[in-house]
Chain A
Amino acid sequence: MDYSLGDLGSIFVMQAFSGLILFSIFVLMALGLAIIFGQMGVINMAHGEFMILGAYMTYLTSLVFQAYLPSLYPIYFFVAMAVAFLASGALGLFVEWSLIRFLYKRPLDTLLATWGLSLILQQSYRSIFGAREVGVDLPQWMMGSLPVTGSIEVQINGLFVMGLTIVITLAVYLLLYRSAWGKQVRAVMQNRVMAGAVGINTEKTDRYTFGLGCGIAGIAGSAFTMIGSTGPTSGQLYIVDTFLVVVFGGAQSLFGVIASAFTISQTQSTLEFFLSGSMAKVLTLLGVVIILMIRPQGLFTIKVRR
């Protein structure tokens, strides 16, 4: 390889940047999953499909704006995000009410049931939106890239997704650790019976926690449209990775999820430069699995008395 040292530095920075975009998507997806899996112990295999629902909602919103409100198109994304959150969240509430609440004591069965749900959702998307992938037109201001130095450029949409990730993460943190409702969620997670005894409506808390997790997945889907196109099975591609991110981080820890998403995405995108894409992924996932075998509780854990 005949790169000069400066080129190599630039490539490294660009690669790190593309790793940061991957990191943002991982964090957004894993946040929702960490709430559902980490707080409630429910394995939601349909999480990817909730994300794709958000992506399709964003796509629909962009179509509506193009047709009826072309002058407001530059800000359609913010509306789309709200729509995506509400749609995925509402579906989440419905799924919790109709399916999940019967299975809280059988985690392995939730896994199978939500897998079935994911198949149904995938086929619904295929019937409604077609099997082909769809993409949204980015508004003008989000296209192009910012030159940082002569040989380094960063894409604006990537920057936007990162900013969004930071905002959402902060919001989730405040909601879970600084609000009265978050305190109830954590109380129910730590000791369901006692939480009920002090007057917390545990069923309602469960339902809204699940809804919130799904809603965040919707926002992740919304962000996903900024950097890639959406197909009926796009969600399935990410689900295994996302679960690994959550487990690797130590399921109950928000900070752990962020740290593990960062480690995994940076490792993968750095390795991608030296090896083929598939080998980079294999080595990264293999590394994670081996570390999990040595340290099954994940990177960061909160001590919970069981």
Chain B
Amino acid sequence: MTSDRTFFLARKDMLGIVLLAILLAVILPLALDGFRLQMVGKYLTYAFVALGLVLCWGHAGILSLGQGIFFGLGGYCMAMYLKLEASSIENTKIQSTPGIPDFMDWNQLTELPFFWRPFHSLGFTLLAIIAVPSLFAAIIGFAMFKRRVSGVYFSIITQAIASILTILIIGQQGYTGGINGITDLRTLQGWDIRTDAAKTILYFVCVGLLLASILLAYFVKSSKLGRILVAMRDKEDRVRFSGYDVANFKVFVFCLAAAVSAVGGAMFTLQVGFMSPSFVGTVPSIEMVIYCAVGGRLSLLGAVYGTLLVNAAKTSLSETFPELWLFGLGGLFIAVVLVFPNGLAGLYETYVSPRLGRFFGGRGKAAPAGTRAPAIAE
């Protein structure tokens, strides 16, 4: 194994990451016009969530149907900072209370709520984007995994929490912007994020963060921790009897997935210029699971390709045949479960990889049968 690895990456994985980096950072920006590139940038923010799900669902067997919570929390943290910057006293002098966000003024609030105040500071905001969702995930995780709630029950409860959070955000209009969300975001530290040039720069920032997250995920996956996660997924009791505290590992991977999703949410807010509860609830959360499933629930790179593919299909289908899109998405859910449970990555391993290996004269044998993705566990 040692000769085949550089740092913590197998040579094959390294190649995959480099190819993805070339695709995202060179080919797509050259091939697409500004508008399409911004769309790819938006899709890539969902890829963060899919990446988190590969770790948490594919490798640790925890299916969270509430990843939208963390995407949303990250996005809202960013949006709160940007909104406060956009609501400076001179920008909002026509309001009855200048200096607070417009929707608060419409809802007869006369003072900035206490939990908004720290978001004047960029440093605090950047910290909060990671810390708030991780902390929330840790609370949920400790409460549930310590009591050995798992599998289906965990999925249902995370879904319920996503639903609660959406209702809360929509109901508390004065504090959260309600169903419209936080809109009309303009500048980041005085830098206008609405121009095309800014959006291109943000795209590259997004790609950079995504690649960093992928590296982090590979690091976790290849570490001893990653092996324990897989062991736990397949035979939880044996891991427990071997003396490991299963719950702590689960909490860790759940928090990691939450933090990665939150980065995606923050990048979403920056690139698209708003955040709304429609990215928090149960429907988007489940949709994010399908991105991961289409890519292959065990494949970190597959998650990115899966996200791009599903979203590209969604955009093109709903532009031309809006009524067909839900049939397509529904069919995709069923097909990915029944026909190809290992997703795109599974198809690649079965059909493309062996042929490539033959083509390059045996070098493709770098993936012996033992390291291959096992069949999906029960």
Contacts and interface: CB of A to CB of B under 8 A. Distances in A.
Interface of A: 41, 43, 99, 102-103, 105-113, 115-120, 122-123, 126-127, 236, 240, 243-244, 247, 276-279, 281-282, 285-286, 288-289, 292-294, 296
**Interface class of chain B by DSSP:** helix
Contacts of A244: 156, 160
Interface residues of B, number: 43
A111 B148 contact: no
Contacts of A115: 286, 333
B159 A240 contact: yes
Interface of B: 63, 65, 143-144, 147-149, 151-153, 155-157, 159-161, 163-164, 167-168, 170-171, 282-283, 286, 289-290, 293, 323, 326-327, 329-334, 336-338, 341, 376, 378
Closest 6 CB pairs of A and B: A116-B333, A278-B171, A119-B330, A120-B330, A123-B326, A293-B143
A112 B293 contact: yes
Contacts of B168: 278, 282
A272 to B, nearest CB: 12
A60 to B, nearest CB: 21
Given A112-B289, A296-B144, A99 B155 contact: no
A288 B160 CA distance: 10
B166 to A, nearest CB: 10
B171 to A, nearest CB: 3
A128 B31 CA distance: 41
Contact of A109 (B143, B160, B341): B341
Contacts of A289: 157, 160-161, 164
A243 B333 contact: no
Given A111-B155, A286-B164, A289-B160, A102 B338 contact: yes
A293 B157 CA distance: 9
B160 A126 contact: no
A25 to B, nearest CB: 17
B334 A108 contact: no
Given A43-B156, A99-B338, A119-B326, 15 more contacts: A108-B152, A113-B337, A113-B338, A115-B333, A116-B329, A116-B330, A240-B159, A247-B156, A276-B171, A282-B167, A285-B160, A289-B157, A289-B164, A292-B149, A296-B149
A255 to B, nearest CB: 20
A293 B147 contact: yes
B151 A108 contact: yes
Contacts of B163: 240, 285
Contact of B155 (A108, A126, A277, A279): A108
B171 A282 contact: yes
